[in-house]
Chains A and B, each alone.
Chain A
Amino acid sequence: MSAEAFADQGLIGTSVLRKEDDALLRGRGRFLADLVIPDSLEAAFVRSPHAHAKVTRIDLEAARALPGVVAAYTWDDIRDTVSELFLEAEMRIPEQVKEAIRPLSRLQPVPLLADGLVTCVGQAVVMIIAVDRYVAEDAIELVEVGYEPLPPLVDPLAALDADAPIVVPGTDDNLAISVEGRSGDIETALAEAAYVVTERYRSHRYVASPMETRGVAVMLDPRDGGLTVFASTQTPHRLREVIAGTLRLDSGRVRVTAPDIGGGFGQKGVQYVEDVLLPYAAHRLGRSVRWVEDRTENLTSSSHAREQVHDITLAADAEGRLLALRDDVVINLGNANLTGLVVPYNTLTHVIGPYVIPVLDLRVRGVLTTTMMTTPYRGAGRPEAVFAMERAMDRLARAMGIEPHELRARNLVRPEKMPHRTGLMYRDGTMQTYDSGDFPELLRRLVGHLKIDEVRARQRGGGTAPGKRLGVGLAMYIEGTGLGPFESGSVTVLPNGRVRVATGASSQGQAHQTVFAQVAADAIGVPLDRIDLIEGDTAAIGHGVGTIASRSMVTAGNAIHLAGLAVRERLLADAAEALGTAPEDLEIVDGVVRPADKPEAGIDVAALAARRAPLLVPGTSTGPGAMISETTFFKPPTVTVASAAHGAVVEVDERTGKVEILSYAVVHDCGRVVNPMVADGQVTGGVMQGIGGALYEEMEYGPDGQPRSVTYMDYLVPTAAEAPPYVLDHIETRSALNPLGVKGLGEGGAIAPPAALANAVEDALGPDRVHITRGPLTPSRVKDLIRGASSGASPDER
C-alpha cells in the first residue's frame, strides 16, 4: 500500500511495510564486517584460559617477530596513556535515590587488558594487530603467558562467604552492590497472614546472542588524527564519550557511527574493553584497524545475563489477598560491576508485578565472581524477578487450593485505581507509579485464550497419551519502559522537499527507518517516502542516548513528533506569509501547504524550504532560523508502564523429559501502537528468546570456572522447529506521560516465558510431586525432577 494512501487518515496505527527490507533482502545491508576500509589491519585477542589466575609473565617476542604482525600490546604497554574502562552514564545514581535509599554500588574501573590478574575465562590479556585475522590468530599461538591459578569462584551465594576468594584485589569482600526497598511492617504482616510461602528460586545464566557478533572498525582522519569509529553498538553517543574519556581525547575528535546492526538485545548497549582498545591501536599506529568478534568470543567474552537467586516469601490473608512480599536477591555480577544499579534496581522494582501488595521488604545484592560479567539483556532484571514472583504466586495458589489465575485476579491493581503507587522509589528518583493499564482485562483474555477449563477437564479425564502429562501455566508482569533521561530528535525540510530526521536512538532491527518516518510524516503532513532517517551517527546529531531499555519510541519517537510539530508550525507560518492568509486557515496534506477552502493554491513544502534556503532567493534571511529545522529533546517525566499476561499449555513426555508447547498465548499492552506489524514482530521475537531461556539455553560454568557452552553446538538457540502455536492479543491503554501515548515494547516479550513455562510444566507434572525452582527445563532436568519425585527425594537445587 502506498504511503500516500494513508496520508489523510494518518500513518500511525498502520502496518506500513518496512523501508529497511529491500536493501537487507538484496544483501546490501552494511553491517560492521561488511564495511570496506582500505588497508585496514585486524585485531585478535589472547584471552585467559583460567577463571582466576595471576599473570606472572607475558612473552610477545615470537608473536611480534611473525611476518604480518604489526603490533602486540599488554596492559603495561598502554597503561600510561589510557584510563581504565568506566561507564559513567551507567553508574550515575540520581541524588534523590542516593538520599532516600543510600544504595551501595562500588565503583570498579576495569583495566583494558589484564593487569597481572585474570578474573574470568575469556578476559583479554594481549591485543595483536596484524595484516589480517588469519595472521593475527597465528600470532596468538606464539604468545606465551605464564599463569599461576587462584581459586575460582562461580556460585553467587558462595561469593558472600567470609572465606571466599576475593575477585577485586584490595577489597574486603565481593559485595559490589546492595540496595533495599521497604514499605510497611513486614514482621506484623507475616504474623497476621493466613498463608505464607517461602521458597528459593534461581534464574539461570543465559545470553543475548545476537546473530551479528560485536565488532569495531576505526578509521583515522589523516588531516587531524580524528577517529571515525564504526561500532556494532546500541549506544553510539555513549560510546563516543567512553572512547574519548578512556583515551583522553577531545570527544569532538571522535565520531561514532553504528552501521546496520545485527541485533543487540542489550549486549551491545554497554561498552567493552575492545571498544576502546581498537581506537587506541588506530590512534597509536596511525592506521585503520578492525576487530570482528567470533562466536566463541561472543559467548564467552561479551556480557552474560540473568543469573540471580531469590529467597522469596509471599503472605496472604484467608481470602487470598496479598499482605506482604519479602525478597532477598543475590545477583551474580560476574567479574565486573560496570552497569551498577541497572539490573539490581529493575529487579527490586519489578518483583511486585501487577499486584497490590501493601508491605514490601526487598533487598538486592550484587556479588562479584570469577565469571563473565552480567549486564542488561532484554528485560534486564525483570524476567528474573517475574520468575521468582510468579512461581511463588503459583505455590501460594496451590497452598490455598485455588486456581493460580484466581489468586492473581484477586490481587491485580484495578484500572480505576490508576495511577497506582507501589511505595518504592524508582531508579530515576521518582516514586514508582503505574501510570495506566488494565491488568484484569489482560488476565481475563489470557484465561480465555488458554481455555483453562478445557485443560482441567482433559487433565481429569486422562485425555492425554500414555506417559504424557498436560499442564497449563501463566505469568504476568509490568515493565517500566521509556527510560530517560532524554532522547534527541531533529527534523529538517531540505530545499528539495525531502525531510531529514536525525535521532540518537539507533536501530538494531526495530524498523526505525519505518516507524520514525510514520511519526514524522504524521506530525508534519508529508508522505512517508519523503522522510530520510539518519540515526546512529554522532556527527548527525550532537546528543543522544541510544536504543536500550524499551525506550526508543517513547523517547526518540516523541522527540521526533515534537520536532515535527514545530516544523509544521514553521511551514504554516511561512506559507501564510507567502499566501497572505492566516496559518489557522491552512492545512498540510501530502507535502503541500494549502488553504483548506482553496486546495489548488497550495505550496509544496519543497518550495517553502527553498524559499528559506540562504542565498538562493534574493532577500531571504541568512541568519538564525534560515532553515526550516527544529531539534527537540524529549525528557520523559518517568517511565511509563507496559504490561502483559503470558500463558502456555504444555505436554510433558515423562519418558523422555521433553516439554512440548501446545499453545502459547500473550495479551500485551504497550499503549498506542505505531506500526502493528512491527510491534507484533518485536513481541513475538521477545517471546522466542524467553522460550529459549525457559527450555533450552544455559550459559553454564563448571565448578572450575570453565564455561561449558562456548559454541552453538552447546548453547542451544531455538530454531523454527521450536516455535510453538501462538496467539498474540493486544489491549491499548494509552500513556498520559508522553504526547504520542506510547509505551515501550522491545523487551516485554522476553520477560514472562520462563515463569509461565515453569508454571505450566509444574502443573503438568503435579505441583504436589515436583517443585520447579530453576531452568532451563531441558529433558534431563525434567527427568531429574520426575526421578526425584518418584524416589521421594527433594528436588535438587542445582
Chain B
Amino acid sequence: MPEITLHVNGLEHRLDVPDRMLLTDALRQRLGLTGTHVGCEHGVCGACTILLDDQPVRACLTLAVQADGHRIRTVESVAPSEEELHPVQQAMRDCHGLQCGFCTPGIVMSLLALHEQEEPPGPEEIDETLSGHLCRCTGYRNITEAAHRALGCAGHAGPADAAGHEHEGAGR
C-alpha cells in the first residue's frame, strides 16, 4: 500500500492508502474532513470540489495517490475564525444561497478560487464557474446573487424583505 503525504488545510498528513482510494474517501474517512461531499462520483455535480494547489478540482475524480505531495484546501479551512465567515460564505448566507446545504461546500470552494485569483472575475466567468455545480434546492438565483456580491459584481436584487414584495432580476 503506497504511503503518501498530503498537505491539507496547512497540516501535513502521512497516509497509507490503497492505490484505488479516491481522494474524497481519503479526506472524508481518513482525515475526518466530511465537509467535502460526494454527490455523484462521476464528476458532474461539483459537490466534492476542493482546491488542489489553489485550483478547483473534483476530488471524486482524483485518486488519493495523485495528490501525493500536493497542497489541498477543503471547506473546513475557509472561514477566518469561529466568529467570522469568509466573504464568499457570508454572501451565501445573506442571499439565502443554500437550503439543504449539501452542494454548498463545493460551490464555496469554486468561488473561493475566483475570489483569490489576481484578475477579478467578470460576470461571465462567475456564471461559467457556477454552471459546474448542481444544486437541486435553490433554483440558483440566490447563489448567483451571492457569487456576484462576494466577487464584487453589482447589480442583482436581493431576496425579498417582506411578503408581497416583487423582485425582478436576471438569473444569469
For B40, list chain A residues within 8 Å (CB): 295, 711-712
**Is residue B79 contacting chain A, with contact meaning CB distance below 8 A?**
yes
The answer, among B20, B38, B162, for a CB contact under 8 Å with A33, is B38
| Interface status of B171 (Cβ within 8 A of chain A) | yes
In the complex, the answer to whether A13 meets B172 with C-beta atoms within 8 Å is no
If A212-B100, A262-B100 touch, whether A21 touches B92 (CB-CB below 8 Å) is: yes
Query: Does the CB pair A33–B34 fall under 8 Å?
Result: yes
* Residues of A747-780 contacting chain B, CB below 8 A: 749
Q: How far is the CB of A685 from chain B (nearest CB, A)?
A: 4
Would A263 and B136 count as touching, CB distance under 8 A?
A: yes
**By the criterion CB–CB under 8 Å, are A29 and B102 in contact?**
yes
Q: Indicate which residue in A26, A260, A682, A749 contacts B79 across the interface (CB closer than 8 Å).
A: A26
Query: Is B114 located at the chain interface by the 8 A CB criterion?
Result: no
Are the CB atoms of A295 and B42 closer together than 8 Å? Answer: yes
Interface size on A, residues (CB 8 A): 71
Contacting pair A720 B34 (CB below 8 A): no
Would A723 and B36 count as touching, CB distance under 8 A? no
Give the residues in chain B near A726, CB-CB below 8 Å.
141, 168-169, 171
Q: Are A687 and B139 in contact (CB under 8 A)?
A: yes
The residues of B that contact A684 with a CB separation of less than 8 Å are: 138-139, 141-142
Q: Verify B166–A18 contact, CB threshold 8 A.
A: no
Residue of B nearest to A263 (CB): B100
Q: Is the CB of B163 within 8 A of A730?
A: yes
Out of B18, B108, B128, which one reaches A134, CB within 8 Å?
A: B18
Contact between A673 and B135 (Cβ–Cβ < 8 Å)?
no
Q: Is the CB of A688 within 8 A of B134?
A: no
Within 8 A of B (CB), among A683-713: 684-689, 711-713
Q: Scan B31-69; emit 1 where CB is below 8 A from any A CB, else 0.
A: 011111111111011010000000000000000000000
Residues in B with CB closer than 8 Å to A510 are 99
Q: How large is the interface on B (under 10, 10 to 19, 20 to 34, 35 or more residues)?
A: 35 or more
B18–A17 touching, CB < 8 Å: no
Q: Known contacts A509-B99, A721-B172: does B160 contact A680 (CB below 8 Å)?
A: yes
A31 CA to B44 CA, complexed, in Å:
20
Residues of A within 8 A of B136 (CB): 208-211, 263, 265, 685, 689, 717
Q: Smallest CB-CB separation from A265: which chain B residue?
A: B136
The tally of CB-CB contacts under 8 A between chains A and B is: 225
- Is B18 a contact of A685 with CB atoms below 8 Å? no
B114 to chain A, nearest CB (A): 14
Whether a CB of chain B sits under 8 angstroms from the CB of A372 is no
- The interface residues of chain A lying within 8 Å CB-to-CB of B32 are 36
Q: Is B75 an interface residue (CB 8 A)?
A: yes
Determine if A719 and B134 form an interchain contact, defined as CB atoms under 8 angstroms apart. Answer: yes
Chain B residue numbers with a CB within 8 Å of A713 are: 42, 44
User: Which residues of A sit under 8 angstroms from B94, Cβ to Cβ?
Assistant: 17
> Closest B-chain residue to A727, C-beta based?
B168
Give chain A nearest CB distance to B45 CB in angstroms. Answer: 6
- The 8 A CB mask of B104-121 against A (1 = contact, 0 = none) is 110010000000000000
A659 to chain B, nearest CB (A): 15
Residue A15, interface by CB 8 Å: yes
The verdict on A679 contacting B163 (CB below 8 Å), with A27-B74, A262-B102, A712-B40 known, is: yes
A contact residues vs B (CB 8 Å cutoff): 13-15, 17-18, 20-22, 24-31, 33-34, 36, 134, 208-213, 260-263, 265, 292, 294-295, 508-511, 672-673, 676-682, 684-689, 711-713, 717, 719-721, 723-732, 749
CB pairs A–B below 8 angstroms (14 shown): A25-B93, A27-B34, A31-B34, A209-B136, A211-B39, A212-B39, A263-B100, A265-B136, A510-B99, A680-B159, A681-B139, A685-B99, A723-B139, A727-B168
| Chain B residues engaging chain A, CB cutoff 8 angstroms | 18, 20-21, 28, 32-42, 44-45, 47, 74-76, 78-79, 85, 89, 92-94, 96, 98-105, 108, 127-128, 130-144, 159-172
A24-B101, A720-B127, A721-B131 given; 4 more Cβ-contact pairs under 8 Å: A34-B28, A34-B34, A684-B141, A727-B167
